[in-house]
Structure 1
Amino acid sequence: MRIAVLDNDRSQTDLVCQVLSSAGHSCHSYSTSRDMLANLRRDSFDMLIIHWQVPDASGEEVLRAVREKLSPTLPVLFITGRSSEDDIVAGLAAGADDYMIKPIRRGELVARVQALLRRAYPAQNEAEQIQFGPYIFQARTGRVTMQGKPIEVTQKEFDLALLFFRNLGRPLSRAYILEAVWARDIQVPSRTMDTHVSRVRSKLQLRPEHGFRLAPVYSYGYRLEQMQS
């Protein structure tokens, strides 16, 4: 999962990112709310971790911007150095999903992050056989069928298709797709992603007449939409 971390304390963001990276997540740190919010408009993340007080904004202001302009459902964990009940209530009332009080404890951080991600993305934790309408994905074998008929796909095409279905209706940035499917292979040219998207659209027949549409999002990435019947 891709997680954005906002804190002007470099040692704190280094610690959080080290812990989350060790747990298998991809961590991106920001020291100002302006930088983080600007990047959130260009890129996709699965979760935010924000310090409740950074020099250029309060956690409440950051949360309001995220909820109103970006996503009402993106899981948010806030970190505070204050343990007063008023601060905690204010954070949760502003739209945060959970909180932690400094000093950060590694095991607790991982546990809270994993719990929020499981709740926010239940499709990521389903059984080996995952079904979306007429499509069935066999996670262990990398096979996919449509209305019971097998579709010949490569492993990358399978991973890409499953990524879109697991994020149905959610715009995914090119950077997010690249990191999720091609991992750390930064040598992958942009046209490679576009070619794979085109093949997935064609092979799985992701067209409105079949109930789904895989469409580009201008200057951002792609989104798989389920059409209204």
Structure 2
Amino acid sequence: MRTPMRIAMLEDDRDQSSTVAAWLNEAGHDIHQYAHPRELMKIAGRESFDLFLIDWNLPEISGEAVLTWLRKDRGDLTPVIFVTARDAEEDIVAALGAGADDYIVKPVRRLEMISRIEAVLRRSRPREPERELDLPPYHFDLLAKQCFVSGELAELTDKEFELALFMFRNVGRLLSRGHLLEAVWGRNPNLATRTIDTHVSRLRSKLALRPENGFRLVPTYNYGYRLEQVSAS
């Protein structure tokens, strides 16, 4: 079963936004809705997502300009799907040429949108194993919820295991604290982002996440963490 995805949707039509958000929530995804480009751009500067759904025709700043900002200014390669009423061939070519991963023409249909999102995510991520994840010297048994380091069982709490698994599934990605919190604890307003720092500190120790084991956890100030795979040498 695929992990729920954290999706940012930029759509100034609130009825359309609410409808699509309801569809995607029902499909098991976590949706963050934004009505204005500057609002999304502000959040995207400090939060990470698995996918952006962006309308083309927006107030003040076009969807194409937001996409260009993500790709060129931010260096953000997160998949982007354009959602728009513009259906001319030259528009589709322009959107894909600007760096979009797919293009959906309004009126949006529920099953088509969900299928296209899943297709884009399949292309951008390797298929997740159902029973185990093996990144030597780390081995995750997903059914037993156990993690082994060089064959030795690491004593992890359930949340520590879920956090470690999520980070190993996303090796090389810079993940915001909010993204990590939502992936492991869900949307819980009573949890502080400091919770992530505490759990990351424990994982670094319990899993011996050091270069000699081929991995290291790198913090980014005021943002989050990246699990990097490095040469043991």
TM-score class, shorter-chain normalisation, is over 0.9
8 Å contact 2:178–2:193 — kept in the other structure? no
Question: What secondary structure, in the 3-state scheme, does the structure 2 residue paired with 1:122 have?
Answer: coil
Distance 1:152 1:54 in 2: 50
* Pairs aligned (count): 228
List gaps (5 residues or longer) in structure 1: none
Structure 1 contact 59–91 (Cα < 8 Å) conserved? no
Q: Deviations over 1:41-87 (max 9, x none)?
A: 11010000001110122222111111112345211110110221111
CA distance in 1, matches of 2:75, 2:121: 15
* Equivalence for 2:219: 216
User: Post-superposition shift, 1:215?
Assistant: 2.3
Residue aligning to 1:42 = 46
| Cα distance in 2, alignment partners of residues 218 and 162 from structure 1 | 23
Which residue in the other structure is 2:140 paired with?
A: 137
2:157 aligned residue (131, 150, 154): 154
Q: 2:62 aligns with which of 42, 47, 58?
A: 58
Task: Choose the corresponding residue for 1:7, options 11, 35, 52.
Answer: 11
Structure 1 residue runs of 4 or more that deviate by more than 6 Å after TM superposition:
none
Amino acid at match of 1:85: E
Match of 2:203 among 200, 208, 212: 200
The RMSD of aligned alpha carbons is 1.4
For 2:211 and 2:73, the matched residues in 1 are separated by 28
Q: Which residue of 1 is the match for residue 26 of structure 2?
A: 22
CA shift, 1:166, in A, is 1.2
TM-score by structure 2 length? 0.93
- The one-letter amino acid of 1:40's match is A
Tell me if the contact between 1:5 and 1:29 (Cα under 8 Å) persists in the aligned partners: yes
Q: Distance in 2 between matches of 1:166 and 1:59?
A: 30
Q: Distance in 1 between matches of 2:43 and 2:191?
A: 22
The separation in 2 between residues aligned to 1:26 and 1:145, in whole angstroms, is 30
| Contiguous gaps of at least 5 residues in structure 2 | none
How many angstroms does 1:3 deviate by? 0.4
What amino acid is aligned across from residue 176 of structure 1 in structure 2? H
Q: TM-score, normalised by structure 1?
A: 0.94
Hey, what does 2:71 align to over in structure 1? 67
